[in-house]
Amino acid sequence: MTQAITTVAGTGAAAARAPVTEQMTDDFDSFFRSRTPALLRTAYLLTGDRHLAEDLVQDALARTFRMWQRLADGGHPEAYARRVMYHLQVSFWRRRRVAESMPGELPERHDRADYAEATVERLTLRRALLALPARQRAVVVLRYFEDRSEAETADILNCRVGTVKSHTARALSRLRELMPEIELAAGVDR
Amino acid sequence: MNELNDRLADLADEMTDTDYTALRGRVETTARRIGQRRVAGTTAAALALVGLLGIGGLQLAPQGQRHPLPPAASQTASEPPTPAPTTPAATTTPSAPASPTGSAPANAALSHVPGRLVYLRVGAEIEVVTVTDGVARTTSFGPRKLGDQVATVAPDGSRVALVRPAKDVSEYPGDLVVVQPGGARKVVRQGVSWGGGTGPAWMPDSRRLLVGVTTLEGDVATGESYGYVDAVTGRYDKLGITAFPSYLSWSANGAYRVHADGDSLVVARPDGTRVRKVSVAGQPECDRTGECPSSVQAVSDDGRYVATGLGSGDPTRVTRARFVLDTVSGKRIDLPSKLRGGVEEIFFRPDDTLVVQTSDHLYLVGLDGTVTATIERPESTNQADLAAYRR
């Protein structure tokens, strides 16, 4: 499981800030402490790599921090951070780096129900996800991990519901090819 | 929760051992770096614009409309973005539509939208549907091929342009392909960018496109230039601009163009002379969602009104208009409450009244928010995007 955050204090730049900026930074720190673990989990599914996931969250939170004054006053910082994260992840410039870690052959599946098998299953899923184009992977994560509706997914990815449907269909079809043992028929249906 | 949900949750549990203190520090450093980059970029773009105007200002002029700048042009561009009193926009009276079809009683029984609507439908097949004074005609541009991205139709509906990325990677630069009726394809330029508001933009002449061209060394982008590509000959005329005018959109009469510049909209003449720059940072969506309505979708003939969607410079392209902004007053036009949330596209009529497309109807709407006509959407346009409107 993702570890809890106990402290994030002590960054050097925090030493001499104006009162308003300090308050803003404190608010952001609170947000950072509470929401970063969840963002990292999503980022890991999007990138398939711990370091890339941290980089992705770092970039998303940096943009969120820059928008903090607006977001803190009635906005929804986490929604903004997630939206930025998804958009950054499907952008070419970041995707180029992810491409370097694309997987080779999928591991063979073993039938023994033990810890090793669970590990293999996770590895298989991770690699299968990485075999999807970035936007299809984002749709899978939004629909099946975050449990978002098609309309919500379309809104976050700034595309039409029809596009979400086609991405979902293609992604599931590909996942079925790569992981025939997994049950994909009963997905989110809203 | 089905098996995929469970497995994704299990997989996400692998994300452990993060050094949160270090990550918090990196977030702050990155935020500072982004701020510095934006300031530098804005300054460079402003200097480039002033420089260009100073040496002739022939950027982004549609064919046949290039002409020397008026004497005050350089000064206009470098002045603060206040409304220009001599522009047609400043003298327009929005509440007094010029066209007789703008009055509510006369339009109540309209069976079609006067003028020409151009729709693009990209399904298994690429189709352009034109509806001219109520008469619909569908033209096939051949099958959609795997890898086709950001298809756009020329304002007159005669051609379709799309980008085919060289790799199956989101926003990877690709071939700019021009498709003719029937499906004949021709690659007219390689290495064309297509993300967000920086994808190929048709000029009003329906022949040229403004594009960004990325220079690649392997998978690494080493440079980008901007210029016009002729859709027929493939000729590339490079421009001396340093940034792509994001979400560039033209008025139907070709007299004005508007693009997004951060959280502002820049209204300019075809030759690049800036008419005004208006901030949208005060719009409620900026605070509520962090995304300001800056993705320009359509411009009125007098350059005063702009239809926009939400957009914040993220990589995906916004194609849906939600708001109409008055670039002179900076205020938005109130759309009828029954349309809110259902608007798909908005275009302007010559008298500045609106053509509003929803999933099942077309509405003619006055600038005071009055619906003057409600028209069934032509069946042949279902699942198609309204891409252009000309009276």
Residue A54: closest CA among chain B residues belongs to which residue? B23
Give per-residue pLDDT as tens, B103-122. 344 455 688 999 999 999 98
B172 touches chain A (CB under 8 A): yes
A31/chain B closest Cα distance in angstroms: 11
Residues forming beta bridges with residue B132, ordered by sequence position: B116, B135
Q: Do A11 and B383 touch (CB under 8 A)?
A: no
**Which chain B residues are Cβ-neighbours of A141 within 8 angstroms?**
8
Amino acid at A88: L
Contact between residue B266 and residue B294 where contact means Cβ atoms under 8 Å apart: no
Instruction: Sketch the domain layout of chain B as residue ranges.
Output: 22-390
**Which chain A residues are Cβ-neighbours of B288 within 8 angstroms?**
74-76
**Which chain A residues are Cβ-neighbours of B13 within 8 angstroms?**
1-2, 41
Residue B381 has pLDDT above 50, yes or no: yes
B322/chain A closest Cα distance in angstroms: 13
Q: How far apart are CA B311 and CA B286, in angstroms?
A: 10
Selected residue of A28, A144, A157, A163 to mutate for chain B interface (largest B Cβ count, 10 A): A144
Residue B29: closest CA among chain A residues belongs to which residue? A62
Q: Do A118 and B195 touch (CB under 8 A)?
A: no
Written as six digits, the tokens of B385 are 């995007």
Q: How far apart are CA B241 and CA B246, in angstroms?
A: 12
Output the pLDDT for position B372.
Answer: 92
Q: Which residue among A3, A40, A92 places its CB closest to the CB of B170?
A: A92
Q: How far apart are CA A169 and CA A172, in angstroms?
A: 5
Please, which residues 185-224 of chain B have a Cβ atom closer than 8 Å to chain A?
Answer: 195, 219-221
- Concatenate the DSSP letters of all residues of B19-43 into one string: -HHHHHHHHHHHHHHHHHHHHHHHH
Fold assignment, B22-390: Methylamine Dehydrogenase; Chain H (2.130.10)
Written as six digits, the tokens of A178 are 């790569």
Residue B219 has pLDDT above 50, yes or no: yes
Containing H/E element for A34?
Answer: helix A19-47
Residue B355 has pLDDT above 80, yes or no: yes
Summarize the confidence of residues B229-242 as an average pLDDT. Answer: 92
A93 touches chain B (CB under 8 A): yes
Residue B65 has pLDDT above 70, yes or no: no
B13 touches chain A (CB under 8 A): yes
Q: Residue B134: which of B380, B301, B388, B336 has the closest Cα?
A: B380
Q: Most distant CA pair in chain B: distance in Å?
A: 70
Q: Which residue has the higher pLDDT, B4 or B312?
A: B4
Residue B271 has pLDDT above 70, yes or no: yes
Written as six digits, the tokens of B22 are 């270090």
Least reliable range by pLDDT among B19-28, B95-104, B197-206: B95-104
Residue A33: closest CA among chain B residues belongs to which residue? B20
Share of residues in chain B with pLDDT > 90 (%): 40
Output the pLDDT for position B224.
Answer: 85
A154 touches chain B (CB under 8 A): no
Output the pLDDT for position A91.
Answer: 64
B36 touches chain A (CB under 8 A): no
Q: Which residue has the higher pLDDT, B13 or B86?
A: B13
Q: How far apart are CA B332 and CA B324, in angstroms?
A: 6
Residue B41 has pLDDT above 70, yes or no: no
Q: Do A92 and B169 touch (CB under 8 A)?
A: yes
Q: How far apart are CA B130 and CA A44, in angstroms?
A: 46
Cα-based distances in Å from B45 to A92, B35, B245, B261, B342: 23, 15, 10, 10, 36
A111/chain B closest Cα distance in angstroms: 16
Across B71-80, b (16+ Cβ under 10 Å) vs e yields eebbebbeee
Written as six digits, the tokens of A163 are 């596009």
- ipTM for the predicted complex: 0.79
Selected residue of A101, A158, A189 to mutate for chain B interface (largest B Cβ count, 10 A): A158
Residue B219: closest CA among chain A residues belongs to which residue? A96
Q: Do A122 and B195 touch (CB under 8 A)?
A: no
Q: Which residue among A50, A57, A87 places its CB closest to the CB of B315?
A: A87
Q: How far apart are CA B313 and CA B317, in angstroms?
A: 9
Say how many residues make up chain B.
391
A162 touches chain B (CB under 8 A): yes
Confidence label for B170 from pLDDT (cuts 50, 70 and 90): low
Selected residue of B18, B29, B317 to mutate for chain A interface (largest A Cβ count, 10 A): B18
In B218-360, beta strands by DSSP E: 220-230, 236-239, 246-250, 257-261, 264-268, 274-279, 295-299, 305-309, 323-326, 345-348, 354-357
Please, which residues 43-82 of chain A have a Cβ atom closer than 8 Å to chain B?
Answer: 43-45, 50, 53-54, 57-59, 61-67, 70-71, 73-76, 79-80
Written as six digits, the tokens of B171 are 């926003």
**Which chain B residues are Cβ-neighbours of A132 within 8 angstroms?**
none
**Which chain A residues are Cβ-neighbours of B315 within 8 angstroms?**
87-88, 90-92
Summarize the confidence of residues B251-265 as an average pLDDT. Answer: 90
Q: Which residue among A12, A57, A134 places its CB closest to the CB of B170?
A: A134
Written as six digits, the tokens of B110 are 């309209």
Low-confidence ranges of chain A (pLDDT < 70): 1-21, 72-74, 91-117, 183-190
